[in-house]
Amino acid sequence: MFCARAPEARSLCKGFELTLHIETEGDGRSLALLHGWGVDSRVWDGVRSELASRFRVHVVDLPGFGQSPVCAPYTPGEFARELARALPESICVCGWSLGAQLALRWTLDFPTQIKQLVLVAATPRFARNPGWASGIDAPVLHDFASGLRRNVTSTLKRFATLQTHGEKDARQKSAWLCKRLFTTDPEVLQASLQMLLETDLRSELFQIEQSVLLVHGQIDRLVSEASARAFQQLLPRAKLEIFEDCAHVPFLSQSKKFVSLVSEFLDE
């Protein structure tokens, strides 16, 4: 098992509140966009303007990523507290991959703030164990941790390639992701990868009363379709949309369909 030291909270001083970097555009109901591991909020560049034509979109750099400082302690619960403090009292949330797990943590901890959830390439537990056969083999995550210690840039590029594997124009899409990789702080990447390995929300999902849209790629190599279907069964009010010929980044691979689907769901 790998151990990741929590990143030093260089930007925090006692008595001062963390200020997340959030870019806001558009009018209407508030919608927060939470990115995944290895990138920052720029990963939403292909859909944010279209969504902002229908909603008031808040594009967030998670703590330690992009232009947001590190929070302390560096835990999902602290992420949820910072998001709850920084964003409107009534909001819909769209989270991708790691961002989806954090959206769930936020909803569980601050249930009256969150109105609807869109969870993309999401799972309540990334790592496989005897009670969760559809997860990723833990050695895959260990391998990424080891790779980060050797060469951060090449490891993230390999991760970007894996996210689009099997798709048409996979090389171009991987290159697009590579331009949005977050590479400045290996400690943040290690600590957030540890979150992916350790987080398990299955026992709490019955508490989610909000309606949930699950968006999943049929050929996702990181989170299987079987995992998505098992996830749906654990959520009281979830519907699942499978994007054919799509891997881990549906909002990049089929952006128009994604925007249309999300808009219809949030307008219900």
Length of the chain: 268
What angle in degrees, to the nearest 10, is found between the helix axes of 138-150 and 186-198?
Answer: 170
The active-site residue, picked from 41, 68, 97, 253, is: 97
91 in helix, strand or coil? strand
- How far is residue 19's CA from residue 67's CA, in Å, rounded to a whole number? 10
Please answer whether residues 177 and 39 qualify as being in contact, where contact means their C-beta atoms are separated by less than 8 angstroms.
Answer: yes
Q: Using the structure block, give the residue that is written with the tokens 């959206």.
A: 103
Whether 11 is catalytic: no
Tell me the one-letter amino acid at 234. L
The active-site residue, picked from 224, 227, 248, 253, is: 248
The active-site residue, picked from 220, 224, 227, 253, is: 220
Tell me the one-letter amino acid at 224. S
Whether 21 is catalytic: no
- How far is residue 259's CA from residue 268's CA, in Å, rounded to a whole number? 14
Whether 248 is catalytic: yes
- How far is residue 72's CA from residue 13's CA, in Å, rounded to a whole number? 10
**Catalytic residue positions, numbered:** 97, 220, 248
